[in-house]
Copies of this chain bind each other. A is one copy, B any other.
Amino acid sequence: MTRIVDVARQAGVSTATVSRVLNGKTVRPELATAVHAAVAELGYVPDRTARSLRRRSSDVVALVLPDVENPFFTAVARGVEDVAQQAGYSVVLCNTDDDPAKEARYLDVAEHENMAGVLIAAAPGAPPLGNLLARGRAVVALDRAVRDDVDQVTFDNAALGRRATRSLLDRGFRRIACVTGPRETSTAAQRAEGWRAALAEEGLDAPDELLIHANFRVDGGYAATAGLLDAAGAPDAVLATNNLVGVGALRALADRRVPLAGSADDRGTATGSAATGVGIVGDLPFATSRTDQVALLPLNPRGLGVTAAEMLLERLDGLDSPARHVVLDGTPAADAGRVPA
Interface residues of A (CB under 8 A from B): 45-50, 52-53, 58, 60, 68-69, 71, 74-75, 77-78, 81, 90-93, 95, 108-109, 112-114, 218, 244, 247, 250-251, 254-255, 257, 264-265, 268-269, 284-291
Contact = CB atoms under 8 A, between A and B. Distances in A.
A185 to B, nearest CB: 20
Given A47-B112, A58-B49, A286 B71 contact: yes
B50 A290 contact: no
Nearest to A48: B113
A251 B287 contact: yes
B92 A109 contact: no
A69 B69 contact: no
Contacts of A77: 68, 93
A290 B218 CA distance: 14
B113 A290 contact: no
Contacts of A60: 92
B92 A90 contact: yes
Number of this chain's copies in the assembly equals 2
14 contacts: A48-B112, A49-B53, A49-B113, A49-B114, A91-B93, A247-B286, A251-B288, A251-B290, A255-B290, A284-B286, A285-B286, A286-B286, A287-B288, A288-B291
B78 A69 contact: yes
A324 to B, nearest CB: 28
A270 to B, nearest CB: 9
Contacts of A244: 286
A285 B112 contact: no
A69 B68 contact: no
A113 B250 CA distance: 45
A69 B58 contact: no
A-B pairs, top 5 by smallest CB distance, nearest first, are A286-B286, A289-B289, A250-B288, A287-B288, A93-B93
A157 B286 CA distance: 23
A291 B286 CA distance: 13
Contacts of A251: 287-290
Contacts of A254: 288-290
A288 B249 CA distance: 8
Contact of A74 (B74, B255, B284): B74
